[in-house]
Structure 1
Amino acid sequence: MIRTLKIHDSPIIGAFATCTEEVALVPQGTGANVCRSLEDMLKVPVFQKLINGSTVVGSMCRGNSSGLLVPRTAITAGFDDLDIPAYNLPGKLNAVGNVVLANDSAALVHPELSDRAVETIENALKVEVHRGTIGGIKTVGMAGVVTNKGLLVHPRVSDAEIEVLEKIFGLPIAIGTSNFGTQMVGSGVIANSKGYVAGSQTTGHELARIEDALDFIQ
């Protein structure tokens, strides 16, 4: 199975799409072939959405099996067809997918998120939330990819950050890239514990690292 593709003619698929254990979200207008490929690779139904009129769905929302976080200005009723409730994240940091890295057990978030925002994330995703960075980068949602089985992060992650991440998620940490050397690995990979897909420029070597990190090597 080919594990790479484009969404809206871009290899930066993590900006355009996101997934949980139950659903994947892509922008309205995504081609039927791309939607079918995502369903095959992630083993979840795919829903087409716009968030505040924007196609960068992956940058604008983040979810897990308990809930979906969207910007404070987004209309949550637009997600009523999903089996998980949607919640508005308060505050000015509205690119939710960029500032939240989460699976079903924990979340790492942008260090400048307010206490109210952190509380909202805890209630929506039903996980413990920790502020932090990956490689000194505050947009942790694009600096890493986490599932319930593994965590792949930016190559410049520090030993101290690795220690924190291991404590937060209880998972082995691996470093890697996507799209021929892009260090913001979350911008080029979408994954859950059932499968993954990477941006179209991702090399075979990078795919092997991703598969190893997210525990897909048989």
Structure 2
Amino acid sequence: MIPTLEIMGTPVIGVFATCTEEVALVPHGIKVDAKDFIADNLHVQVLEIIMGQSSVIGSMIRGNSNGFIVPRDGLVEGLEGIGLPISILPDKLNAIGNIVLANDSAALVHPELSDHSVDIIAQTLKVDVHRGTIAGFKTVGMAGTVTNKGVLVHPRATVQELSFLEDIFELPVDVGTTNYGTPMVGSGLLANSKGYVAGSKTTGYELGRIEGALSLIGNR
């Protein structure tokens, strides 16, 4: 089975959904077969989230096995009973999924995030937090994807950025694309250490790069 999918009729699945080792958050009203596909490929519980009038859950929320960060303006319904800390980021930069790249050990965040916001992220996710860019982009949450096994980032990431990512995550880092050449890999990919789902336009070559970078060879 080829692990590709559309959510809300689009291949930019990372904009609409986000995942951790145990759960995936998706917009309310997603098709049942799409929920099942995500659950089967990532081996997670899939939760439908309501966040005001917004369906871009992946752009607005970021979490890991220790907690979730939500935006100050987003009234989020559906995380109740998840059993993890949920913190509001009181920052003007509030598209959390776009500006935070995190796994269970570290996080890279938008370089202009306030010290207070960095502290909230560190305490909630229980990770070391570092400011930085990927390929010069401050929206590091969409310029990369990280799991507990590997990191895949924008193909124009610099040598210095790649080295920094290797240092802070202590994982192998590689470059790639999704959805037939889209360099903002986080926009077209959901992944954890158990599996992945890519946007529907992702090519076989791109899938191979994803599997190699995230140590998921043989998951198809």
Instruction: Note if contact 1:64-1:104 (Cα within 8 Å) is conserved in structure 2.
Output: yes
Q: Secondary structure at the match of 1:122?
A: helix
Tell me by how many angstroms 1:217 deviates.
1.0
Question: Structure 1 length normalisation: TM-score?
Answer: 0.98
Instruction: Note if contact 1:76-1:86 (Cα within 8 Å) is conserved in structure 2.
Output: no
Distance between the aligned counterparts of 1:77 and 1:38, measured in 2? Answer: 20
Aligned to 1:52: 52
Aligned to 1:62: 62
Q: Quick one: which amino acid aligns to residue 47 of structure 2? A: F
Aligned to 1:109: 109
Distance between the aligned counterparts of 2:104 and 2:25, measured in 1? Answer: 17
State the superposition RMSD in angstroms.
1.0
Tell me by how many angstroms 1:134 deviates.
0.3
Tell me by how many angstroms 1:78 deviates.
4.4
Question: Structure 2 length normalisation: TM-score?
Answer: 0.97
* Number of residue equivalences: 218
Tell me by how many angstroms 1:77 deviates.
6.4
- Aligned pair 1:83/2:83, yes or no? yes
Tell me by how many angstroms 1:149 deviates.
0.1
Tell me by how many angstroms 1:97 deviates.
0.1
Tell me by how many angstroms 1:2 deviates.
2.2
Distance between the aligned counterparts of 1:84 and 1:76, measured in 2? Answer: 14
Tell me by how many angstroms 1:81 deviates.
2.8
Tell me by how many angstroms 1:83 deviates.
2.9
Tell me by how many angstroms 1:90 deviates.
1.3
Instruction: Note if contact 1:64-1:125 (Cα within 8 Å) is conserved in structure 2.
Output: yes
Tell me by how many angstroms 1:151 deviates.
0.1
Consecutive unaligned residues of structure 1, counting only runs of 5 or more, are none
Aligned to 2:143: 143
Q: Secondary structure at the match of 1:130?
A: strand
Q: Quick one: which amino acid aligns to residue 12 of structure 1? A: V
Consecutive unaligned residues of structure 2, counting only runs of 5 or more, are none
Q: Secondary structure at the match of 2:107?
A: strand
